[in-house]
Amino acid sequence: MHTALQTNFLGIDLASPLVLPAGIMGLSYSGLAVAARKGAGMVTTKSFTLQPRTGHKGPVVAEWSGGILNSMGLCNPGIEEGLKEVHAFREGATTPVIISIFGTSREEFVKLARRTNRSDGNFLELNLSCPNVADEFGTPLSASQEKVSSIIYHVKKISRLPVIAKLSPNVYHIREIVSAAEAAGADAISLINTLGPGMLIDRKMGKPILHNRFGGVSGPCIKPIALKLIYETYSAVSLPIIGMGGVLTGEDAIEMIMAGATLIGIGTGIYYRGIDIFNLVNEEILRLLSDEGYDGIARIQRLEKLRE
C-alpha cells in the first residue's frame, strides 16, 4: 500500500484509513480476510452477543434508489465462536481488528468486554445503536446520555482494549451524547449506524418488502446526515472519529475526513462496487491527494478540517 495512505489510530499504524464496519462481512474469518486483502486498513467483526442469534426472517435486505434497507436482526455466532473467527483471522493477517459487541444492559456489555480481554482484537466497539431490535430490547441505548455514559464508564474500568462507542444518527443532541462518551472515558467515536428504521413497500404484493417490516437505512442517501453528525462530533470532542455513512468514492472519503473523521468506514458501498471498493477508493484518494498537492492523508487530517 502507498505510504501516503498510512495513518495512525490510537497508537496503531494502519496501511489505509479505510475500515470495514461492523456487520457487513465480519461474521467469519474469511469475510474479514477478504476485506483486509482488498485494501481495508482495519476490519470490524459483526456485533457479538453473549449467546448466538439467528437474526430475523428474510427478506432481511431490500434495495431502493437511495440506498439499502437492512433488518439482519443481530444474527451472530455469539461471543465465544466469534472470537474464534477473530483468532483464525489474526493467524493469517496483520491487519488490526475491531471487535464489536452488543449488550442489552450495562452488565451484559461488561461481561462481553471481559471476554474480549482474552482475544486477538486490537479495539473494542460498543454497539449502542442497532436500529433493528427495538421490538426486543427497546430504544437504542445511544439515545440516552446517561446510558451511554454508564456503559462506557463501567466497560472502561475493566477493558484491556481501547473502547470505541458506535452511535446512532437518530438523535437531536449528538453533541451532548459524544461529550458524555468522552467524559466517561471512551477512546474513540464511530458514527453513524444506520438511520431510521425505515420501510419499503412491495406494491404488487401489497405488503412491506422486509419480513420484519422495518430496517435501518444506509447508502448514498444518508451521506449528508453522516457528514453533519461527524462535523458536530468533531467540534464537540477531541476523540478520533471513525466516520461512515454512504461512502462510495474517494471524494466521499475525503469529505468525511474534512468533516472530522480520522478513519472512514465503507459498508453499503460494497453492495454497489463490490469488495474491490477498498482498493478503488484507496486509489481514488491517492489521485485526489496528488491533484491537490498533498503528500499524504495525514496532511488533510491535520490541516484541512472544514472551515466555518
Cα gap 178→210, rounded to integer Å: 32
Cα gap 240→263, rounded to integer Å: 8
193 is a contact residue toward ligand RRO (CB under 6 A)? yes
47 is a contact residue toward ligand RRO (CB under 6 A)? yes
Q: What is the 8-class DSSP label of residue 221? A: G
Shortest Cβ 49–ligand RRO spacing (Å):
9
Cα gap 40→42, rounded to integer Å: 5
- Give the E-state strand segments of 110-182 in sequence order: 123-127, 163-166
Shortest Cβ 8–ligand RRO spacing (Å):
26
CB 104 within 8 A of CB 110: no
Which of 7, 71, 119, 268 touches ligand RRO (CB under 6 A)?
71
Which of 216, 220, 245, 246 touches ligand RRO (CB under 6 A)?
216
The C-alpha cell at 218 is 444506509
Q: Which residue in the list 18, 113, 130, 180 is annotated as catalytic? A: 130
130 is catalytic: yes
- Nearest residue relative to ligand RRO (C-beta): 216
CB 159 within 8 A of CB 118: no
Residues 6+ apart with CB under 8 A from 138: none
Count of residues of this chain found to bind ligand RRO when the rule CB under 6 A is applied: 15
77 is a contact residue toward ligand RRO (CB under 6 A)? no
What is residue 256's three-state secondary structure?
A: helix
Three-class DSSP labels, 201-212:
EECCCCEECCCC
Shortest Cβ 54–ligand RRO spacing (Å):
11
168 is a contact residue toward ligand RRO (CB under 6 A)? no
CB 284 within 8 A of CB 249: yes
Query: In 3D, which of 237, 28, 261 has the Cα closest to residue 245?
Result: 261
Q: Find the binding residues for ligand RRO in span 109-128 (CB under 6 A).
A: 127
169 is a contact residue toward ligand RRO (CB under 6 A)? no
Shortest Cβ 46–ligand RRO spacing (Å):
7
Using CB atoms within 10 Å of the CB of residue 112, give its burial: 0 to 12 exposed, 13 to 18 middle, 19+ buried: buried
Beta carbon nearer to ligand RRO, 47 or 159: 47
Beta carbon nearer to ligand RRO, 21 or 96: 21
The C-alpha cell at 293 is 498537492
What is residue 101's three-state secondary structure?
A: strand
74 is a contact residue toward ligand RRO (CB under 6 A)? yes
Shortest Cβ 252–ligand RRO spacing (Å):
19
Shortest Cβ 215–ligand RRO spacing (Å):
7
Which of 119, 122, 132, 145 touches ligand RRO (CB under 6 A)?
132
250 is a contact residue toward ligand RRO (CB under 6 A)? no
Question: Which residue numbers are catalytic?
Answer: 130
Interface with ligand RRO by CB under 6 A: which residues?
23, 47, 70-74, 102, 127, 130-132, 193-194, 216
